[in-house]
A = this chain, B = another copy of it.
Amino acid sequence: MGFWKTWFSTPESLTTSKTTSFEEHTAASVGNSPNNISETSSKEARIVFSTERDLDLYELEELCDAVGWSRRPLRKVKKAIEHSFLVASMWQVRGNQRRLIGFARATSDHAFNATIWDVVVHPDFQSKGLGKALMKYVLKKLRSEEISNVTLFADPHVVDFYRSMGFMSDPEGIKGMFWYPH
């Protein structure tokens, strides 16, 4: 029950519902009607999104390992999640089993700008439109907070993916720039 408890808990920094799901149908049965939890016990797998921050950091690390990211100290990952404006996770739910299959988070000034970091979809679930679904969920959440400028830094191989979602690179010649300590 701990899972469902956090699943439906009230969001802190987001005013919209914490959990919505991939399909409208699922949204109706999972997101909006906690009384219908029994419905989620069917054996049919479904994809569910959440802004719950209380993630199992080892499960998140496993997801990041699966796409080959360098490991980061969990202490810092915990701090980053705590201080992100939005934390979005994507789950495969089958009966009362759930598996973390996607993640993204955003920093923000809560007013004008948000920057999306650490977008990841498990390789087993790539090329099924789920990355797009996760990003749509993130953008919907940010838009509901009246953030007017959503930014990110895209690796070369995902620039076209973000472009297909309406992101523009270097609009009006604005350049993304990086500085590393030396």
B149 near A178 with CB under 8 A, answer yes
Number of A interface residues at 8 Å Cβ cutoff, please give it. Answer: 52
**In whole angstroms, how far apart are the Cα atoms of A74 and B172 in the complex?**
26
Cα distance A23–B144 when bound, in Å? 45
| Among B105, B117, B156, B166, contact of A175 (Cβ-Cβ < 8 Å) | B156
A139 to B154, CA, bound (A): 23
Query: A126 CA to B125 CA in the complex, in Å?
Result: 52
Q: How far is the CB of A3 from chain B (nearest CB, A)?
A: 25
Say yes or no for A4: interface residue by CB 8 A criterion: no
Min CB gap A138→B, angstroms: 10
Copy number in the complex reads 2
Stretch from A46-54, A93-101, A108-116 that touches the partner: A108-116
Q: Which residues of B contact A109 (CB under 8 A)?
A: 79-81, 83-84, 105, 107, 117
Contacts of A110 in B (CB 8 A): 79-80, 82-83
Residues of B within 8 A of A170 (CB): 175-176
> Whole-angstrom distance from the CB of A162 to the nearest CB of chain B?
5
A178 touches B155 (CB 8 A): no
Which A residues are closer than 8 A to B by beta carbons?
A: 72, 76-77, 79-85, 105, 107-113, 115, 117, 139, 143, 148-156, 159, 162-163, 165-182
**The 5 residue pairs across chains A and B that have the minimum distance between CB atoms:** A176-B176, A156-B173, A80-B111, A80-B109, A83-B110
